[in-house]
Structure 1
Amino acid sequence: MSIRTERVAALIQREVAQILQQDYAERLTPMVTITDARVTKDLSIAYVYASVMGETEAERKATFKQLEALSDEVRSSLASRIRHQMRTIPEVRFFLDESLQRAKRMENLFDRIRAERERRLSDSETPDAAQ
């Protein structure tokens, strides 16, 4: 990416996060976090990555669907905020970022491996202590 596209992406990420926090927080429950943004070379499309904090996958997907439905409203709010910095406002497309859920799953797997390893070590030490 060029410096210009990187700066525009950072601007869009920051502004969309503020828009969601200030204007749509009550409609988007559970909480939505904007984790990244990328723009095309011609600055016509902004790909915004959102992480949804929720208990169940169904709850996260339902909230993400709400977010997708708000993309036109978010774009118009974005336009009013950055119209002096950009000639045209890019189309906003949201993508679900599940990296936090994947990291949590990996952490749980490592915890299970550690527990299994400790259980095996304690089982192998028990017969030695009896002798």
Structure 2
Amino acid sequence: MASYSRTQRIGEEIRKVVSTMLISGIKDYRINSLISVTDVEVTSDLSYAYVYVSILGGNKESSMAGLKSACGYIRKEVGKNVKLRHTPEIIFKIDDSIEKGMYMESLIKKVNEDNSKNKKDFSDDSQGE
């Protein structure tokens, strides 16, 4: 059995097309260049494609509204570039994993700084006795 299924291959092709369109193909002021496609999941019957996007900076609600208004155009372009009998309906979802990762990294950094400060304070206290 193949480790890379047909839906995954189609999802990757859709990701490439949508990513290219976000860079240069959509002329909506709400869609800025800080939107990136992180993943695409296609249902097994190929009727829906869930496109996960990361939106850094700007207004997320406005950007999502811009993406939703461009869904028809994006679907048409996906249909032209990905050879399928029926083009899946595009559904955009926000992927917050990058922001969550940055937040977790800042927490770990803070704990490490506090830890090193406490070690220094402890060593200063034990040397003074």
SS of residue matched to 2:73: helix
Cα separation, partners in 2 of 1:61 and 1:119, compared to 1, 3 Å: farther
Deviation at 1:92, TM superposition (A): 0.2
Question: Quick one: distance in 2 between partners of 1:103 and 1:66?
Answer: 26
Structure 2-normalised TM-score? 0.86
Aligned to 2:20: 18
Q: Within the alignment, does 1:34 sit opposite 2:37 as a pair?
A: yes
SS of residue matched to 2:107: helix
Q: Within the alignment, does 1:49 sit opposite 2:47 as a pair?
A: no
Structure 1-normalised TM-score? 0.85
Runs of 4+ in 1 over 4 A off after TM superposition: none
CA deviation profile, 1:1-35 (whole Å, cap 9, x unmatched): 97221211111111111111121277322511111
Aligned to 1:66: 66
Q: Which of 88, 95, 98 in structure 1 is aligned with 2:96?
A: 98
Deviation at 1:48, TM superposition (A): 0.7
SS of residue matched to 2:91: strand
Q: Give unpaired runs (5+ residues) of structure 2.
A: none
Question: Percent of counterpart pairs with the same letter?
Answer: 25
Question: Quick one: distance in 2 between partners of 1:47 and 1:32?
Answer: 15
Q: Report if the CA contact (8 A) 2:48-2:89 is conserved.
A: yes
Q: Within the alignment, does 1:125 sit opposite 2:123 as a pair?
A: yes
Q: Within the alignment, does 1:112 sit opposite 2:114 as a pair?
A: no
